[in-house]
Homo-oligomer: A and B are copies of this chain.
Amino acid sequence: MAQDPISHLQRLTAINASAAFNKLAQFHVDSAQQGVVEIHMKWSDEFTQYSGYLHAGLIAALLDTACGFAAVTVSGNVTASHFSMNCLKPAIGRRFIAKGFTVRAGRRQVFARAELFAESDQGERALVATGESLLVPID
């Protein structure tokens, strides 16, 4: 509650570093405030599906992580019980940016949502997917 923004960023950066897959995919926490976070990942040819676009598993990983990290800034440690996503456009670009937001944080459940943007070589961003997560605070 009385935490300043820098400590949210420090806390999430530490959590991010402790997750093996986040390291493998080189997720990076860019900013974190109460209920709002931003992370990004660079393009990798190793993370594609059969058409050469970003794999659904990576889209989910980015959206779910952004939701979860937003929830952490409000409710401490959480675990996701439900996740959904809409794939609006083929996910291709030099970089992917996921923004997470808490929608409502209750004592027993936290609702969060996220948006995934693909950044082109020219630096233009397009919304390629949206996601939602329902999380449970853990003690």
- Point out the residues of chain B lying under 8 angstroms from A108, CB to CB: 108, 136
The answer on a CB contact under 8 Å between A80 and B104 is no
Check A86–B64 contact: CB distance below 8 A.
Answer: no
Q: Which of A37-55 contact B (CB under 8 A)?
A: 45-51, 55
The CA-CA distance from A62 to B122 in the complex, in Å, is 33
Q: Which residues of B contact A81 (CB under 8 A)?
A: 86-87, 109, 111, 134
Q: How far is the CA of A89 from the CA of B105 in the complex (A)?
A: 11
A59, chain B: closest CB distance, angstroms? 8
Q: Which chain B residue lies CB-closest to A27?
A: B57
**Contacts from A to B (Cβ < 8 Å):** 15-16, 18-22, 24-25, 45-51, 55-58, 60-62, 64-65, 68, 79-89, 103-104, 108-109, 111, 127, 130, 132, 134, 136
A/B interface sample: 26 pairs, CB < 8 A: A15-B50, A19-B49, A19-B55, A20-B45, A20-B49, A21-B55, A21-B57, A21-B58, A22-B55, A51-B79, A56-B83, A57-B58, A57-B62, A58-B61, A60-B61, A60-B83, A79-B87, A81-B109, A82-B134, A83-B84, A83-B87, A84-B84, A88-B104, A104-B127, A108-B136, A109-B136
